[in-house]
Amino acid sequence: MADRAISQEALLQGLRDIHLPPEIAGGGIAQMLAALAMGLGLALIIGGILRAFSMRPKRERPVTLNDRVIAARELPSDAQQVALLHLLKDVSPARYQALSQRIYQKGGIPAPDVIEQELRDHA
């Protein structure tokens, strides 16, 4: 504990707002600019926090069959056939089963255009 008690005047002096010394050049303007800067800084911080909590996550569009077919077109021919057959198996297992009976025969894998047409007919 302190050896002596704080006087009421000293206590009130300590509770007053902090001000720049009056002898500073442009003291009133400098004080207003300092208050403005602090207010703007606080507004930026609060705005950033509110923005972080109010933003919704981006919803990605579901991948359609057409998107998957277009992506398969960019593959080399052999890989394109395999990718399209996998799509056909997912979309129309019965039609894939019919095609898979002749896949292992000579010339049995249908051309990518034929598989695409099968996919489009099913869709």
Annotate 2-48 with three-state secondary structure.
Answer: CCCCCCHHHHHHHHCCCCCCCCCCCHHHHHHHHHHHHHHHHHHHHHH
Q: Are residues 33 and 72 in the same domain?
A: no
30 domain-assigned: yes
Total number of domains in the chain: 2
User: Which of 9 and 16 is assigned the larger pLDDT?
Assistant: 9
The rounded radius of gyration (Å) of the Cα atoms in the chain is 37
Tell me what the mean pLDDT of segment 107-119 comes to: 80
CB-CB neighbours of 31 under 10 Å:
15
For the cut 90, the answer to whether the pLDDT of residue 9 exceeds it is: no
Contact 62, 94 (CB under 8 A): no
Rounded to whole angstroms, the Cα distance separating 65 from 71 reads 10
Q: Are residues 51 and 69 in the same domain?
A: no
Q: Are residues 78 and 111 in the same domain?
A: yes
- pLDDT, residue 108, reads 74
Q: Are residues 95 and 113 in the same domain?
A: yes
Q: Are residues 77 and 101 in the same domain?
A: yes
4 domain-assigned: no
Contact 122, 95 (CB under 8 A): yes
Instruction: State the residue range of the domain holding 38.
Output: 22-56
- pLDDT, residue 20, reads 62
17 domain-assigned: no
For the cut 70, the answer to whether the pLDDT of residue 87 exceeds it is: yes
Instruction: Give the SS3 label for residue 99.
Output: helix
Q: Are residues 27 and 70 in the same domain?
A: no
Q: Are residues 72 and 41 in the same domain?
A: no
Q: Are residues 110 and 78 in the same domain?
A: yes
pTM metric for this prediction? 0.48
Give the closest residue to 69 by CA, choosing from 18, 29, 122: 122
12 domain-assigned: no
2 domain-assigned: no
Q: Are residues 71 and 96 in the same domain?
A: yes
6 domain-assigned: no
98 domain-assigned: yes
